[in-house]
Structure 1
Amino acid sequence: MAKKLIKWVVLLVVIAAVVFAGVKTISRKKAALAKIPTARIYPIVAPTGVARQSSIQLTVPYLAEVQSDSDVDIASKVTSRVDMIVPSGTSVKRGDVIVRLDAAELLARKKGLELKISEVQNQIKAKYADLKNLKRVHEHTRELLASQVIPKDKFDTEAANIESLQATIAGMKNRAAALEQNIQEIEDSLTYTRIQAPMDGVVSKTYVAEGGIATTGKPLLSLAGGDGKRLVVRVPDDVRPTALLTEGADEPCPLLPLNSTFKGLDEYSCQMRTDLAAGSRVEVRLLVFSGEGFLLPFNAVLELNGKHQVLIVQGDQASPKSVQIRGEGSQGLVVEGLKAGDEYVVAKPDILLKLLTGVAIVKAAR
């Protein structure tokens, strides 16, 4: 019993010693930490700008597509072999023959129809001769019937034969007229074997080579008519460009909304004279803002929770001021909510956030 008591006493003494040592160590550490001086917060050196109202134009780079309302695709209206087609790059005048198709098959069909018409007309002549004889005999029969020399049945039979022959002749005439109509259709098709340029222009592309087969409805070549074209841009619905600027142009080209969309993008167009082929793409700049306002660099505006702020310098502090974005382009941001003469901070977002916590600012030398 005494030994067990001694063990418990020793255990309690050891625990007390450990606790005392720990408390002593913690007290020593706290004293050492208390002697360390507090870290000094240094002011931030940042560039600043001064708000000045001015006339501003904002642009963004973009790609425009060259289109032409005067460019046409010349298609074939008959299926035939291509005897001649002018090559790409050829300048043509209105009325020049630009495609010639093989007309041999059409001419052969026309010749065959003419022979059939001639045959039918000969048959009609023969039937008219038969009809003339029938009418002469029938007239004689009428005289005999009046004298009651022959029965009336014979007279009626002859009358029926005359009506039948007249119907046959009418049918043959209809057949001849149908053949004539077929010839007219072939003659119309023959006019399509010799295709003329509908306007002055340049053959921009050919789709069939000489010796190839032209198919009805399929284009043979494209004809670019002159230099009057338009540039078309397609932009998201939150972009509202008013004009387009091209390299070397003296004046911006006004953009007109086409009130149409292409794959969800709004289309705008401006008329322009250019030698570029339809379908080409050209680098342009879109005018997205034009007017009076305060132009700030992108690093001068801080976005927090969907709102925009500019840090205004007041002594050695920077105070936030809410602004509204009126326009955005390559040149910067146009804002409202500032006053002329306001001095603002220009820095990366992390620096602006530090200044919002109250860190002092030192203006960088300009």
Structure 2
Amino acid sequence: MASRDTVIVPYSMRVEQSSEVRHKPKLEGPLPLSNFDGAGADLLKTFDAFVRGLLAHNEMVKRDDDHFGQPDEIVRAGRTMSFQLNGGESGRERTVRLDANSAEQKLKREGLLSTQFQVWVVVPTNSTVGWILVEKDGYDTLPSAWRRELIRAFKSRHRGYKLTLAQIRNDAIWRLLEKGLDDPQVIDVKVQRRAEPSNREQETRGFPLEVEKSTETVYRAKKGWMTGRQLKRIRRFFTITKRSDGSLVEIDLADDTRDEFAEGLEIRLANDVLEITVHAEIDGRRKTVRFSGAREPAESYVVEGLNGTRITPRTFRSECRGHTVDLAKVSGAPLANKWDTGEWTAEDQVSPLEVPVGDPKNDG
């Protein structure tokens, strides 16, 4: 069960060596990540080349039923880039019944349903790593096909290397909060759990059976704010920790010294838990961090105060600046002076990446 809030979903972005030997240049020893493009290895320039590849078309790119493209409202500053990207789907087939007594039939939606979503990209001083932050409005966001196309276009341009994108799990702002063991930064913690229908609901004729029910419990300190130590105990109570071999890790709830995020253990929500949301303050900035996901959960950042309206580009950039500062702090990546306001430092643009409009696998 997902929330209908507007959230910002963070992804890590990293250049790595490709395991496909046939694409590797004939070099002795390991390939130099510090010069993956042969021109200073600036990942920000490469991402900008991808956006300009999308700008080369006056229509959206199509991959199966997914569509994306036509970036606009592009803002380049320092080591950052933000823009709006169109995304949607067409031709999706689903199974429906016209009424309770009808047989199932296939319904294929014609036409394209699309809308714009905000995207923020930042590549700090280490130019082979960075972050992408994407708007998610309720259940809707950009199709994952646009990230797959970025990976494909990067691989096509830079033989011997690959671009890895992943939702933030370990180097997470949540980890930053837990590490502040005795710092009172946590305002409250909300845990949403699945709930069984009550006896009255089960026995009442006409009650909808094909619905999900959930309950929400809010935890607050009796006095003041909660500490990272208290947050960690709550999180451990509602999660399951596993090793890479799948075996469970027994953790004493009173043992606050172990950092499961840093040790690379797999943290999953307990079976009846849908999401955990913490409202906290970091360095004077209020933020709401959500921990959710059916399998290994990832974090996202709830945008407060929208009152049902879409987030504006200015507000989106402001939110992303604060999240970037915290992500850099927990990951140890340095942010240079004027990283978000200075002169565009990827000024020497490389040629646009090639992004075919049609699906390459369906061509000829």
TM bucket, shorter chain: under 0.3
- Higher helix content, 1 or 2: 1
Of structures 1 and 2, the one with the larger relative CO (CA 8 A, separation 6+) is 1
**Bigger CA radius of gyration:** 1
